[in-house]
Amino acid sequence: MRIRLLATSTLLALVAGCASQPSSAPGTLLPESVQAIVSASDNKLDATLWMQQSAEYEAAMLGSFALARQQLDLALADPQWDAMPTGERKVPAKGLPPALITDADETLLDNSPFQARSIRAQNTEFSYDAWLSWVSERRARALPGALAFYRYAAEQGVTVYYVTNRDDPAERAATIDNLRALGFPVADDGSNVILRNDPRAPGREKGVRRSWISERHRVLLMLGDNLGDFLDGVAVSPLARHTLVERNRTRWGTQWIMLPNPAYGSWESAILRECGERAKSDPNRCKRDALRLQ
């Protein structure tokens, strides 16, 4: 999903339901890819350190991709298998070639160094220019287990579609280059990398891109680190988000594989939205208030 430094100003914009504007380009809407990465430095320290240094995170990723490989084999053997969310498929899946849909950031690409730099520098203001600089470095590493899984899928004749909320066209070339350099299966023309605002399927949420893919493929699996990687309409209350998860209970771990990401995501903005106006002055107080004590 998607990555980034959620500064105090960005937090307030999320609560207001508006896109943030980087100081370097007044009036320019921020791509969705930058709307949820690192909040105030101390706020993300433990989460980023856990992702970079803990053996537990490595084990969780390896286990997730082992499960994904197991489920991919089952899906290939079952001609009725289709992982598309209810209502998004517009044409029958029968007879279509197989594909899987995956997010990129914190699903198979590790952007924690960008988060770490911001924390070390004590930068609490998000800079889209800094994010673009990181993307342009093309140095994000593959997450544990990711490369082996996606290569295995391609070897089985499964087309891998990278559906990311990085912005098209600003981040397209660097994203494709980074994926190729790591060895992920990318088409010669890059057509299986679909960023937000891709002219083939423009739209803020990912559903329109999933539907575009499903017109051409039977979708075997979906992988991501954010609820929006699997469903549209996730910008709702925390309770409503839990309802969405429950409504799709049979999908998780079978057709949909959720990867761990404690650093950022739409879960955070949901909590702040629920808090209302108080989030503008003290977002961390809103988060503390949301803690369950029993």
- Residue-wise pLDDT for 205-259, tens only, equals 999 999 999 999 999 999 999 999 999 999 999 999 999 999 999 999 999 999 9
| For range 147-175, the mean pLDDT | 98
> What's the rounded Cα separation, in Å, for the pair 141 and 128?
20
> What's the rounded Cα separation, in Å, for the pair 68 and 62?
10
Q: Is the CB of residue 6 less than 8 Å from the CB of residue 35?
A: yes
The DSSP-derived string for 162-175 is EEEEEETTTTHHHH
Residue where the block lists tokens 């993300």: 44
Instruction: Give the burial string for 84-119 (b: 16+ CB within 10 Å, else e).
Output: bbeebbeeebeeeebbbbbbbbbbbbbbbebbbebb
Residues forming a β-bridge with 123:
none
> What's the rounded Cα separation, in Å, for the pair 122 and 118?
6
Residue where the block lists tokens 């280059």: 177
> What's the rounded Cα separation, in Å, for the pair 156 and 152?
6
- The number of residues in the chain equals 294
Query: What radius of gyration, in Å, describes the C-alpha atoms of the chain?
Result: 18
- Reported as a single tens digit per residue, the pLDDT across 248-288 is 999 999 999 999 999 989 999 999 999 999 988 898 899 99
Q: Is the CB of residue 190 less than 8 Å from the CB of residue 221?
A: no
H/E stretch holding 198 reads none
Task: Name the percent of the chain lying above pLDDT 90.
Answer: 77
Residue 62 phi, psi (nearest 5):
-60, -40
> What's the rounded Cα separation, in Å, for the pair 41 and 126?
11
Other CB atoms within 10 Å distance of the CB of residue 280: 15
The DSSP-derived string for 122-148 is T--S--HHHHHHHHHHT-PEEPTTHHH
> What's the rounded Cα separation, in Å, for the pair 153 and 147?
10
pTM: predicted TM-score of the whole model, two decimal places: 0.87
214: exposed, middle or buried (Cβ count in 10 Å: 0-12, 13-18, 19+):
buried
pLDDT at position 280 is 86
Task: Judge whether residue 31 has pLDDT over 90.
Answer: no
| For range 124-145, the mean pLDDT | 91
> What's the rounded Cα separation, in Å, for the pair 161 and 198?
13
Task: Judge whether residue 9 has pLDDT over 80.
Answer: no
Residue where the block lists tokens 């498929």: 89
Task: Judge whether residue 86 has pLDDT over 80.
Answer: yes
Residue 257 three-state SS: strand
Phi/psi zone of residue 106: left (φ > 0), alpha (ψ -120 to 50 degrees), beta?
A: left
Q: How confident is the model at residue 1 (pLDDT cuts 50, 70, 90)?
A: low
CATH code reported for the domain at 8-289: 3.40.50.1000
- Mean residue pLDDT across the chain: 88
Comparing CA positions, the residue from 63, 206, 222, 62 lying closest to residue 142 is 62
Task: Judge whether residue 33 has pLDDT over 60.
Answer: no
pLDDT at position 122 is 85
